[in-house]
Amino acid sequence: LGLVGSVQAADPYPSKVITMLIPFAAGGPTDTVGRLIAQSMSKDLGQQVIVENLGGAGGTLAAGKAARSPADGYNIFLHHIGQSTAPSLYRKLSYNASTDFETIGLVTDVPMTIVARSNMPAKNMQELLAYIKTNKDKVTYANAGIGSASHLCGMLFQTAVGVDLTTVPYKGTGPAMNDLLGGQVDFMCDQTTNTTSQIKGGKIKAYAVTTKKPVASLPDLPTLDKAGLPGFEVGVWHGLYAPKGTPKPIIDRLSKSLQTALKDPSVIARFAELGTEPVAQDQATPAALRKHLDAEIARWKPIIEKAGQYAD
Ligand code: MLT
| H runs (alpha helix) in 19-81 | 29-45, 60-67
Query: What average pLDDT does the segment 81-108 reach?
Result: 98
pLDDT at position 114, please? 98
pLDDT higher than 90, residue 211: yes
Q: Which of 103, 101, 79, 63 is nearest to 30 (CA)?
A: 79
Assign 3-class secondary structure to 252-275: HHHHHHHHHHCCCHHHHHHHHHCC
DSSP per-residue letters across 141-171 = EEES-TTSHHHHHHHHHHHHHT--PEEEE-S
Question: What's this model's pTM, rounded to 2 decimal places?
Answer: 0.95
**pLDDT score at 8:** 55
- Closest atom of ligand 1 to CA, residue 22: 2
Q: Hey, whose CA ends up nearest to atom 3 of ligand 1?
A: 172
- Give the atom of ligand 1 at the shortest distance from the alpha carbon of 171: 3
Average pLDDT over residues 52-76: 98
- Res 7 pLDDT > 90: no
Answer whether the bond into residue 14 is a cis peptide, omega within 30°. Answer: yes
State the pLDDT confidence band at 130, using cuts at 50, 70 and 90: very high
Across the range 276-296, mean pLDDT stands at: 98
Say how far apart CA 246 and CA 264 lie, in whole Å. Answer: 26
Number of the ligand 1 atom closest to the C-alpha atom of 176: 3
CA distances (Å), origin 73, targets 49, 51, 95: 11, 15, 19
Q: At what angle do helices 29-45 and 265-273 cross, to 10 degrees?
A: 170
What is the predicted pLDDT for the residue at 263?
A: 98
The pLDDT of residue 311 is 86
Q: Evaluate: CB of 28 within 6 angstroms of ligand 1.
A: yes
pLDDT at 9: 61
Pocket test of ligand 1: the residue of 150, 157, 195, 198 to mutate, having most ligand atoms within 8 Å of its CB, is 150
Supply φ then ψ for residue 158, to 5 degrees: -65, -40
C-alpha to C-alpha distance for 52 and 83, rounded to whole angstroms: 18
Assign 299 to helix, strand or coil.
Answer: helix
Q: pLDDT value at position 4?
A: 54
For residue 23 and ligand 1, the question of a CB distance below 6 A is answered with: no
Percent of the chain with pLDDT over 70: 97
Residues 133-158 have a mean pLDDT of 97
Check pocket membership of 144 for ligand 1, CB cut-off 6 A: yes
pLDDT for position 309: 77
- CB 83 less than 6 A from any atom of ligand 1: no
Dist. CA 78–CA 241, nearest whole Å: 6
Q: Does the pLDDT of residue 176 top 70, yes or no?
A: yes
SS3 call for 279:
coil
Report DSSP letters for 212-240, one per residue: SSPPTTSTTPPBHHHHT-TT---EEEEEE
- Tell me what percent of the chain is helix, strand and coil, each rounded to the nearest 5: 40, 20, 40
- Tell me, what's the ipTM? 0.96
Residue 29 CA: nearest ligand 1 atom is 2
pLDDT of 11: 80
How far apart CA 134 and CA 126 sit, in angstroms, is 12
Pocket lining: 174 vs ligand 1, CB cutoff 6 Å: yes
Does the C-beta of 149 come closer than 6 Å to ligand 1? Answer: yes
What is the gyration radius of the CA atoms in the chain, in angstroms? 20
pLDDT, tens digit, for every residue of 266-275?
999 999 999 9
Closest CA to 281 of 83, 111, 108: 108
Which are the contacts of 259, defined by CB distance < 8 A and separation ≥ 6?
105, 281, 284, 285
pLDDT at 228 over 90: no
Average pLDDT for residues 96-118, to the nearest whole number? 98
User: What distance lies between CA 131 and its chain's CA centroid?
Assistant: 29
Q: How far is CA 67 from the centre of its chain?
A: 17
Confidence (pLDDT) at 1: 43
Query: What mean pLDDT do residues 24-35 have?
Result: 98
